[in-house]
Structure 1
Amino acid sequence: MKKTQSIVSKRRERILSYLKTNESINTNDLAEMLEISPLTLRRDLQALEDEGLIERYYGGARLVNPSDDYSAYINEHIKSEDADLILTNKRQAIAKYAASLIQDGDTVFLNSSSTALLILEYLEDKRVYIVTNNGKALNSTIGPNIELVLTGGQVYERKQSLVGEFATYILSKVTADKCFLGVSGIAADSGISTSVLQETLINHEMINRCNGEIYVLADSSKVGRHHNFSSGDINEITHLITDSDISETEATDLENKGVKVISVNYSSTEN
Structure 2
Amino acid sequence: MKNSNSLVSKRQQLILQYLKDNETVKIDDLSKKLGVSPITIRRDLQLFEQNGIVEKFYGGAKLISKELDDDPSFNHSTEEYLSLKHSIAKRAAELIEDGDIIFINSSSTALLILEYLEDKHVTVVTNNGKALQISTSPNIDLILTGGEVSRKKLCMVGDYAAQLISKISADKCFLGVSGISANLGISTCVLQETTINSMMLKKCTGSTIILADNSKVGKNHNFLVGEINRISYLVTDSNADEKEIKQIKDKGIKVLTVNASSE
Runs of 4+ with deviation above 3 angstroms: 39-45, 79-82
Compared CA separation, residues 237 and 40, structure 1 to 2 (3 A): closer
Q: How far did 1:98 drift?
A: 1.0
Give the equivalent residue in structure 1 for 2:114. Answer: 120
Give the equivalent residue in structure 1 for 2:145. Answer: 151
In structure 1, C-alpha distance between the alignment counterparts of 2:235 and 2:134, rounded to whole Å: 22
In structure 1, C-alpha distance between the alignment counterparts of 2:176 and 2:108, rounded to whole Å: 7
Is this contact kept in 2: 1:108–1:129, CA < 8 A?
Answer: yes
Is this contact kept in 2: 1:89–1:266, CA < 8 A?
Answer: no
Q: Please point out which of 254, 257, 262 is paired with 1:263.
A: 257
In structure 2, C-alpha distance between the alignment counterparts of 1:92 and 1:169, rounded to whole Å: 31
Q: How far did 1:42 drift?
A: 6.8
Compared CA separation, residues 139 and 227, structure 1 to 2 (3 A): same
Compared CA separation, residues 178 and 48, structure 1 to 2 (3 A): closer
Q: Please point out which of 189, 210, 231 is paired with 1:195.
A: 189
Structure 2 runs not aligned, ≥5 long: 1-7, 15-25, 36-72
Q: Please point out which of 223, 228, 239 is paired with 1:229.
A: 223
Give the alignment of 1:38-187 within 5 angstroms. 44-45=31-32, 47=33, 82-187=76-181
Give the fraction of aligned pairs with identical amino acids, expressed as a percent.
51
The SS at the match of 1:203 is helix
Give the equivalent residue in structure 2 for 1:76. Answer: none
Q: How far did 1:43 drift?
A: 6.2
In structure 2, C-alpha distance between the alignment counterparts of 1:94 and 1:108, rounded to whole Å: 17
Is this contact kept in 2: 1:124–1:142, CA < 8 A?
Answer: no
Is this contact kept in 1: 2:101–2:171, CA < 8 A?
Answer: yes
Compared CA separation, residues 253 and 152, structure 1 to 2 (3 A): same
Letter in 2 for 1:216: I
Query: CA offsets, 1:202-260, max 9 Å, x none?
Result: 00000000000000000011100001211111111111000111222111110112221
The SS at the match of 2:215 is helix
In structure 2, C-alpha distance between the alignment counterparts of 1:104 and 1:117, rounded to whole Å: 18
Give the equivalent residue in structure 1 for 2:69. Answer: none
Taking structure 1 as the reference length, the TM-score comes to: 0.70
Q: Which one has the largest radius of gyration?
A: 1
In structure 1, C-alpha distance between the alignment counterparts of 2:233 and 2:28, rounded to whole Å: 50
Q: How far did 1:83 drift?
A: 2.8
The SS at the match of 2:197 is helix
Q: How far did 1:144 drift?
A: 1.2
What is the root-mean-square deviation of aligned Cα atoms in Å?
A: 2.6
Is this contact kept in 1: 2:179–2:220, CA < 8 A?
Answer: yes
Letter in 2 for 1:211: T
Taking structure 2 as the reference length, the TM-score comes to: 0.72
Is this contact kept in 2: 1:106–1:129, CA < 8 A?
Answer: yes
Q: How far did 1:40 drift?
A: 7.2
Is this contact kept in 1: 2:218–2:241, CA < 8 A?
Answer: no
Structure 1 runs not aligned, ≥5 long: 1-5, 13-38, 50-78
Letter in 2 for 1:227: H
Is this contact kept in 1: 2:162–2:195, CA < 8 A?
Answer: yes
Is this contact kept in 2: 1:220–1:242, CA < 8 A?
Answer: yes
In structure 2, C-alpha distance between the alignment counterparts of 1:240 and 1:156, rounded to whole Å: 27
Give the alignment of 1:27-38 within 5 angstroms. none
